[in-house]
Amino acid sequence: MPPESPIKLKVEKAFCPDMTIAITVRDLMDKDVVSIDASDNVAEGVALMVSSKVWSLLVTGEGRPQGVITERDILRRCINKGLAPRDVKVGAIMSSPLVTIGPDATVREAMSLMVEKGVRRLYVVVGGEVVGRLTQTRLFQSNFDLMLSLSGLTGAL
């Protein structure tokens, strides 16, 4: 059974005076960030994406975040150009710089940043360390949960 949505829980608690309905990046971020070294080849990246059931990887170099590689990067910058995935390094086709946000930013700030930068995911950083990621899909899902929760509350009044 999937865990209870943080949106639903916060909305239900909103009728208590000491509770808040502010949703932060921390509430929604995925803490399991999958990474790959910039020197690994694209074929290894694809295999890692499939085995991890993700469509983007944090690209690191010398132990530091360098960028992100997505399925779109692979299709547009490798496959579409007729390049062999085993011959192309992840670092050569990654998107950079990494677009980041803090865990205490609001969902509204996260959505605005995604639109401004034209990205589908943000990496959550604390003290220079990547601690999570937030995707458009997760934001859409949380907004949908919020709408359902609010409609349920108004129907109960």
Looking at residue 141, what is its pLDDT? Answer: 85
pLDDT of residue 132: 97
Q: Looking at the predicted structure, is the pLDDT value of residue 2 above 50?
A: no
Q: What is the pLDDT of residues 117-148, one digit of tens each?
A: 999 999 999 998 999 999 998 888 887 877 77
The domains of the chain are located at: 6-156
As a whole number of angstroms, the distance between CA 55 and CA 75 comes to 12
* DSSP tag of 149: H
As a dihedral over the C-alpha atoms of residue 109, residue 113, residue 116, residue 121, rounded to 10 degrees, the angle is: -140
Residue type, 70: T
- Give residue-wise pLDDT tens across range 54-69: 999 999 999 899 999 9
More confident residue, 156 or 75: 75
Mean pLDDT value across residues 79-105: 97
What pLDDT is stored for residue 13 in this prediction? 53
Q: Is the pTM of this model over 0.85?
A: no
The pLDDT, as a whole number, for residue 5 is 54
Q: State which fold the 6-156 domain adopts.
A: CBS-domain (3.10.580)
